[in-house]
Structure 1
């Protein structure tokens, strides 16, 4: 029962966190608010205390979130920015592990080199979820945001694989060599991507059989879709490859293939609404769990630091600031180098950063905030070595990692709004023109299809439709579509007609819904009939509201 009540409390706090951020007189990004609420829950002695199991955290939260991000990531744009993503998610991670790792080894007393490299590995992944919570949607230029999201999708795997190597060396289960590590990394990464694609392919085949046997039952299909990221992750991990990349590959395969597009309508509607709800809850619980761990991390680190004569508590806070500054400086220099390389050697196909100035590069630097993967990674470091001795300086690693997460979020909250002020993100007029063009093109194709359908129905004796009735219905539908094409000449009038028609239809739908409830209260229709009629109205209303 305790676990059940804990889950209910966490979900309640997630739900209320958005409300609290809106009613406060000052603006706080949602991730920071959720971290603060988690810390307040855990700080008192009688507060909520949750044992953080890194393996359970990785299995429960990371696969569905990465799957959802991969689902929303267009493959064409991901491949178009492939050079930038590889340079940030792979090359920069390796440079960070080596450079920041040696800095930690040199700067923090008592930390061996392997432990310092492990800390640098968990500090290398960035968090796109935290970034979106800080700046909001549509505040960062789209090309840059595509790169940052692609980096966050891929560098989780490279950072955690580097951590795995460092822990294996510390535990004495492997001897590190550059060649061996490179081969192992390629095997883990490529295997994870292939595993995700293979599991999704098997899911698509099984979905067709289930549709045939279950009669297009949307509930069954949606549940199977919810299990897909977990299946991809667990199968990949069982095979010894990257489960994180498997979840990403699975989401991108779902998004780009025709699996969802060709799925029944009921499944598409349920899947979109269910995933939106799960994303909100899981994202919120990740940050609340982060906040729940901070008081215990601080208390444990302080206690152990007092017992260690070589450590001064104030130096741990200085280490956090210096390490974060080193991460930002290294990231800024690497982005600046990418800009120079693009301008000099990639003139035909320049990178995104080739046209950016110092201000945009600073935005990309501060956008590299740390989050849940960093904390889960550092807490996954074992307590004991293989010989039974404590893992060297583990409490320092956990304290510094938690401090860098919080400090990066605070710096992002302060710096990013200032840097983004006045930056033109996108031309809304161009977007509206693009939307009108697409609607007009689709309407032209639809009109042609309707004419062909009208001709077929006119000669079909089985339908037995009156020609006058057929012409009247066809002209009505074609007239609505033709307004989209003729909108170029009278755009304002066409938009006014569409908006007025939409408002009248919504008013009529709400009146119908009220009458259905009235008929049910008078026992003139059954509850089953009411549910079916209301579902039809909800689908029509959703269509009208989404088109606004």
Structure 2
């Protein structure tokens, strides 16, 4: 019962966090509001305590979030930026693990080298979700954001695999060699990607079979879709490959495979609504849980510092700042190095970095905030070694990782808005023109198909359709489409006409909805009829509102 109440409280807090972020007089990003609310709940006054199980956290939250990110990531853009993403998600992670690992070993007394490498490994993944919460959607230029999202998708796996290597060597269950680690990494990464693709393919085949047997039941198909990221992660982990990459690959494959495109309409509508809700709840839960852990982490650190003569609390706070600064210097230095390599050696097909200005490089550097994966990774470090001794300096690792997460979010809140000031936002007018042009082309194609259908129905004696009625219906539908085609020449006038038409239609729909309730109140229609009519009106209005946005 206690677990049930805890889940209800956390869900309520996630819902209220969005309201709190809007009513606070000054602008605070949603992730920071959720972290603060989590810390407040864990304070002795409220006393909410949640035992953090890193393995459960990884299974419950990370696969669906990465699956959703992979689903939304255009595969063509991801492949086009493949060199940039590999440079950041693989090479930069390795540089960070080695470089920052040695820095931590030299900087913080009492942390052995392998433990320092483990901390550097969990600090290497970036968090695109936290970044979007800080700056908002569409604020960072698309040429930068596309690479950052691809990097965040892939560096979670490389960072956690590096962590597993470091912990395994520290535990004495593995002997580190460069060749052995390279082979193991390739096996885990490539195996994870292949596992995700294969599981998604099997899911697509199963969905088609179920569609025949269940009669396109959207509830069953939506539940199966919800299980897909968990199945990808768990099966891949069972096979000894990367479950995180399997979830990412499944999300990216589902758009390319045509599974959603060929799914029944009811399933597509329900799946999109369900995933939007789950993304919001799961993202909020991640940062709430981070906040819930803060008081315990701080209390444990203070207690351990009191019995450890080699460490002072102020040294840990200073180390957080220095480690974060080193992470930003390494990140900026590698971005600048990749820019030089692209300009001098890749002149025929340069990377995107070659066109970056200094401000672009700084934005891409400070956009590398840390988040959920870093927290889950550091808390997954075992408490004891295989011989029963305590894992060396574990409390310091947890404190430093948590401090870097919070400090990176705070610096991002302050620095990124300054760097983004004056930069062009996403041009919604250009996007609307592009939409209008696409609709005009689509309408032209539709008109051609309607003329062919009209000819076919006129010649088909079995249909026995009145010629005047056929002409009237055909002219009415083609006339609506013709306005889109004519609007291609004057997009501004077409947009204005479409806006006016939308306003009239929304007004009419709302009047219809009010009349439906009146008919039900006067007992002229049944409840079943009312629900069907309201569902149809909601679908039409949602379509009109989406167009307006």
TM-score range relative to shorter protein? over 0.9
How far the C-alpha of 1:215 sits from its partner, in A, is: 0.3
Contact 1:34–1:284 (CA under 8 A) maintained in structure 2:
yes
Q: What is the aligned partner in structure 2 of residue 509 from structure 1?
A: 509
The separation in 2 between residues aligned to 1:37 and 1:138, in whole angstroms, is 26
Contact 1:35–1:287 (CA under 8 A) maintained in structure 2:
yes
The separation in 2 between residues aligned to 1:226 and 1:357, in whole angstroms, is 41
How far the C-alpha of 1:529 sits from its partner, in A, is: 1.9
The separation in 1 between residues aligned to 2:492 and 2:329, in whole angstroms, is 51
TM-score w.r.t. structure 2 length? 0.98
Q: What is the aligned partner in structure 1 of residue 6 from structure 2?
A: 6
Indicate the larger mover: 55-64 or 494-503. Answer: 494-503
How far the C-alpha of 1:107 sits from its partner, in A, is: 1.3
The separation in 2 between residues aligned to 1:96 and 1:145, in whole angstroms, is 21
SS at match of 2:259: coil
Cα distance, 1:364–1:493 mapped onto 2, change above 3 Å: closer
TM-score w.r.t. structure 1 length? 0.98
1:191-236 deviations in whole A, cap 9, x for unaligned? 0000000110010000011100110000000000000000000000
1:135-175 deviations in whole A, cap 9, x for unaligned? 10111110110100000000000000000001100111010
The separation in 2 between residues aligned to 1:50 and 1:315, in whole angstroms, is 29
Q: What is the aligned partner in structure 1 of residue 263 from structure 2?
A: 263
How far the C-alpha of 1:490 sits from its partner, in A, is: 4.4
Whether 2:417 is the aligned partner of 1:412: answer no
Indicate the larger mover: 4-13 or 504-513. Answer: 504-513
Indicate the larger mover: 514-523 or 473-482. Answer: 514-523
Q: What is the aligned partner in structure 2 of residue 88 from structure 1?
A: 88
Structure 2 counterparts to residues 330-409 of structure 1, below 5 A: 330-409=330-409
Whether 2:133 is the aligned partner of 1:133: answer yes
SS at match of 2:10: helix
How far the C-alpha of 1:5 sits from its partner, in A, is: 0.6
How far the C-alpha of 1:520 sits from its partner, in A, is: 2.0
The separation in 2 between residues aligned to 1:73 and 1:264, in whole angstroms, is 22
Contact 1:70–1:255 (CA under 8 A) maintained in structure 2:
no
Q: What is the aligned partner in structure 1 of residue 438 from structure 2?
A: 438
Q: What is the aligned partner in structure 2 of residue 232 from structure 1?
A: 232
Structure 1 runs not aligned, ≥5 long: none
Q: What is the aligned partner in structure 2 of residue 77 from structure 1?
A: 77
Whether 2:49 is the aligned partner of 1:49: answer yes
Q: What is the aligned partner in structure 1 of residue 195 from structure 2?
A: 195
Contact 1:443–1:481 (CA under 8 A) maintained in structure 2:
yes
The separation in 1 between residues aligned to 2:545 and 2:315, in whole angstroms, is 56
Whether 2:209 is the aligned partner of 1:182: answer no
Structure 2 counterparts to residues 391-540 of structure 1, below 5 A: 391-540=391-540
1:93-134 deviations in whole A, cap 9, x for unaligned? 000000000111111111111101000000000000000000
Contact 1:339–1:351 (CA under 8 A) maintained in structure 2:
yes
The separation in 1 between residues aligned to 2:501 and 2:427, in whole angstroms, is 28
The separation in 2 between residues aligned to 1:494 and 1:309, in whole angstroms, is 74
Structure 2 counterparts to residues 314-333 of structure 1, below 5 A: 314-333=314-333
How far the C-alpha of 1:493 sits from its partner, in A, is: 4.1
How far the C-alpha of 1:291 sits from its partner, in A, is: 0.5
How far the C-alpha of 1:313 sits from its partner, in A, is: 1.1
SS at match of 1:236: helix
The separation in 1 between residues aligned to 2:239 and 2:148, in whole angstroms, is 29
How far the C-alpha of 1:489 sits from its partner, in A, is: 4.1
Contact 2:304–2:395 (CA under 8 A) maintained in structure 1:
yes
Cα distance, 1:358–1:467 mapped onto 2, change above 3 Å: same
The separation in 2 between residues aligned to 1:384 and 1:493, in whole angstroms, is 70
SS at match of 1:310: coil
Q: What is the aligned partner in structure 2 of residue 281 from structure 1?
A: 281
Contact 1:161–1:185 (CA under 8 A) maintained in structure 2:
yes
The separation in 1 between residues aligned to 2:470 and 2:436, in whole angstroms, is 29
Indicate the larger mover: 131-140 or 342-351. Answer: 342-351
1:383-409 deviations in whole A, cap 9, x for unaligned? 000000000000000000000000000
The separation in 2 between residues aligned to 1:53 and 1:370, in whole angstroms, is 20
The separation in 2 between residues aligned to 1:118 and 1:222, in whole angstroms, is 39
Cα distance, 1:488–1:437 mapped onto 2, change above 3 Å: closer
Q: What is the aligned partner in structure 2 of residue 243 from structure 1?
A: 243
The separation in 2 between residues aligned to 1:27 and 1:58, in whole angstroms, is 31
| Cα RMSD after superposing both structures | 1.2
The separation in 2 between residues aligned to 1:316 and 1:128, in whole angstroms, is 27
Q: What is the aligned partner in structure 1 of residue 164 from structure 2?
A: 164
How far the C-alpha of 1:45 sits from its partner, in A, is: 5.2
How far the C-alpha of 1:528 sits from its partner, in A, is: 1.7
How far the C-alpha of 1:532 sits from its partner, in A, is: 1.6
Cα distance, 1:321–1:495 mapped onto 2, change above 3 Å: closer
Indicate the larger mover: 351-360 or 461-470. Answer: 461-470
Contact 1:142–1:425 (CA under 8 A) maintained in structure 2:
no
Cα distance, 1:311–1:506 mapped onto 2, change above 3 Å: same
Q: What is the aligned partner in structure 2 of residue 16 from structure 1?
A: 16
Structure 2 runs not aligned, ≥5 long: none
- What count of residue pairs does the alignment treat as equivalent? 548
Contact 1:144–1:364 (CA under 8 A) maintained in structure 2:
yes
Whether 2:222 is the aligned partner of 1:222: answer yes
